[in-house]
Structure 1
């Protein structure tokens, strides 16, 4: 065992480099080359460690620099669960207190996980937007009240901040070094809640591969939480009236403006897709069988196109190898061309799952 990382090392990179593994079995099933970017290996259990951690260590470093090393930092985060875990994990490593506010839709299992890491976890509001408003307006100290103290209050949003996108972009940089020589990712597949991961992927691809290389991002939501697809269809940002999906980690009634901007700027490169809760659960069951890894339904959304048959509207529908993945990314391609396609599936992870929860989902959806 090595020694624990120093604070300076934590400030340099508050996440770990995760494997990007080629899956022969899943590639055979998909008919193309499938690589799994295992963000479920992050310290907090999800990709959120990249963006949330990046924002927090930068904020902590800035506060200490501005105060000559005297200021302490208190982090305040609103979350559906996984962002809160990332915040609590980073705050623990930084030796700073944190306050987490989650909506009432957050499972008791997830709340217990948060409480194991953080002394101040509060539950308020029907959805993340309500929890976030309560955090900013009623929980955080208002401006001007910190003048007599050395405690700097730092707001930690779950997805909508440049430092978060910058942290998520590191995923693409790792993939570029992990794929075999000469292999270029033709597409990434990711779940979309607020859109922070999507923004990071787009930013990272543009930085690593250049603006003229048009890799695609398959942006997957669950029905009942499809604020991104609703915005694309409407031609403007849309706020959903509520969240009806079991994938509560995707429960954002309005995506980040930056996520929508990426679609408007590169509509051929961002491909929104909506899957059902049942398809997301079916995907995590099959993924557990195939890889012995258990992830939550919000991650199952990104995996679902691999396991879900092509929609009836596809000319490929009914063929044995026709999946939603191929329909979304390779429709019209020959089998030979599709076989050469390199798809990186972001296994974003998530902690809102255990065997009992999975059993309940399986019974509910009959998978």
Structure 2
């Protein structure tokens, strides 16, 4: 059990895994980001796991798991996993590398893009089976297949060999930092906990615990809640928007390692705030990130210059497998979170010139993004859904003042999740 190993022994094992890994792919870069460094008055280093062959760090754990399994049993011919995302792609890539057949179970609802990428990485060595509408059904099918066919199940995060493989991210960082530079803050995204557990274990004794900041999506705070209660909990429901990090329960082995941290060291980042970071980093740096890949950078935005100025910061960018069909939703969420877009339900008089009077209230930087009659509830008035975009949040203060002055009957539904999900 790796949590009982000495830090030195664990580091030696991770370093050995890294040497073996070099036969599969080159190290991912640790880049000093000028844009973020200037924004926060700090030295911000990005560990670019989005530049791995499968655009995420998951290839590391899958490689180490299968490598060590074959060391123990060279005749193991069949592997299986359940995943609709990065774990499936890393698993497929590694199966092809070792020339072993792998079966990937995915939910029927998996986007075609992810299916095709997994098939591309695995080639002739991968078979994809679509099973069930939800991941739990898919996972159960994979376990049943493993038992009936003698396949070895490659878990996504809760296994010693997976954790050891993900720790190679830390091993690379240790060799890539300039001589004498010890980070004041290491920011790690957390989903199932394989990456964060591996890196925390690798840096144990080298970087103090209080220099770590762990980040989770606000809609899936499994580590934060578990640390608060002092035991591993399973959340009753989660928000799946940050699909690469939204898990209902932190891994058991991972939690044993991460239990050394305080709940206050876990930063919960709203899903819409992550969208702001994704659009910002795309527009300024040309870097395409998936929601989970932007988690650590969104945490930096939340901390701000007042807490980061003068510090050396390492932030792990965990993945860049982003489906551009999601981009309109990401932009929408980002604008709403930043206060540049709002939705209203208006009660507008049904008389000639009423719409013209309303349009006259808009400022030169205000734009109507949506206009829809919902219901004419009376002969003289009608309910209208309207979406308004503007260039700065403060523009809405002037606009709402104009609404009030005109005696306009309106309701701001921007942050009303129930109504917004039904009609926006």
Instruction: Give the shorter-chain TM-score range.
Output: 0.7 to 0.9
Q: In the TM superposition, what is the alpha-carbon distance from 1:253 to its structure 2 partner?
A: 1.2
**Does structure 1 residue 84 correspond to structure 2 residue 88?**
yes
- Correspondence for 2:412: none
Counterpart CA distance in 2 for 1:160 and 1:13 is 25
Pair 1:11–1:172, CA change in 2 (3 A): closer
2:82/2:105 contact within 8 Å kept: yes
Of residues 78-87 and 214-223 in structure 1, the stretch that sits farther from structure 2 once superposed is 214-223
One of 140, 146, 149 as aligned partner of 2:146: 140
What is the CA-CA distance between 1:105 and the residue it aligns to?
5.8
Q: CA deviation at 1:308?
A: 3.4
1:88/1:35 CA distance change after superposition, 3 Å: same
Q: State the shift of 1:85 in Å.
A: 0.4
Contact 1:284 1:300 in 2 (8 A): yes
Higher relative contact order (CA closer than 8 Å, sequence separation 6+): 1
TM-score normalised by structure 2 residue count: 0.68
Q: Secondary structure at the match of 1:366?
A: helix
- 286, 292, 296: which is aligned to 1:292? 286
Paired position in structure 2 for 1:307? 301
The aligned counterpart of 1:75 is 79
Are residues 300 and 104 of structure 1, via their aligned partners in 2, closer, same or farther at CA, if it must alter by over 3 Å?
A: farther
Compared with structure 1, are the counterparts of its residues 88 and 220 closer, same or farther at alpha carbon in structure 2 (3 Å cutoff)?
same
Q: Please list, as runs of the form range in 1=range in 2, the aligned pairs for 1:38-49 lying within 5 A after superposition.
A: 38-49=48-59
**From 171, 193, 196, the counterpart of 1:195:** 193
Bigger drift between 180-189 and 192-201 goes to 180-189
Larger radius of gyration: 2
Partners of 2:54 and 2:313 lie apart in 1 by 25
Shift of 1:364: 4.5
CA shift digits 1:176-215 (9 cap, x unpaired): 1111111012222121110000111111102xxx267446
**Does the 8 Å contact 1:280/1:300 carry over to 2?**
yes
Report the Cα distance in structure 2 between the residues aligned to 1:54 and 1:190, rounded to whole angstroms: 21
1:93 aligns with 2:87: no
Equivalent-residue separation in structure 2 for 1:294 and 1:171 (angstroms): 20
5 Å-filtered alignment, 1:23-34, equals 23-34=33-44
For residues 191 and 105 of structure 1, what CA distance do their matches in structure 2 show?
25
* SS, match of residue 346 in structure 1: strand
Change in Cα spacing, 1:285 to 1:299, as seen in structure 2 (3 Å) is same
In the alignment, structure 1 segments of 5+ residues that lack a partner are: 1-8, 65-70, 147-152, 311-320, 331-337
- Measured in 1, the distance between the counterparts of 2:112 and 2:335 equals 23
Count, aligned residues: 315
Give me the whole-angstrom Cα distance separating, in 2, the residues matched to 1:116 and 1:264.
Answer: 38
Instruction: Return 5+ residue gaps in structure 2 as ranges.
Output: 1-18, 337-424
Please name the residue that 2:163 is paired with. Answer: 165
Residues 212, 224 of structure 1: CA spacing in aligned structure 2 closer, same or farther, 3 A cutoff? closer
Deviation at 1:133, TM superposition (A): 2.5
Q: Which of 331, 335, 353 lines up with 1:362 in the alignment? A: 331
Using structure 1 for the length normalisation, give the TM-score. 0.78
Of 341, 345, 357 in structure 1, the residue corresponding to residue 315 of structure 2 is: 345
Q: Residue 127 of structure 2: which of 96, 111, 120 is its match?
A: 120
In structure 2, the CA distance between the partners of 1:128 and 1:342, relative to structure 1 (3 Å rule), is: farther
Contact 1:15 1:50 survives alignment (8 Å): no
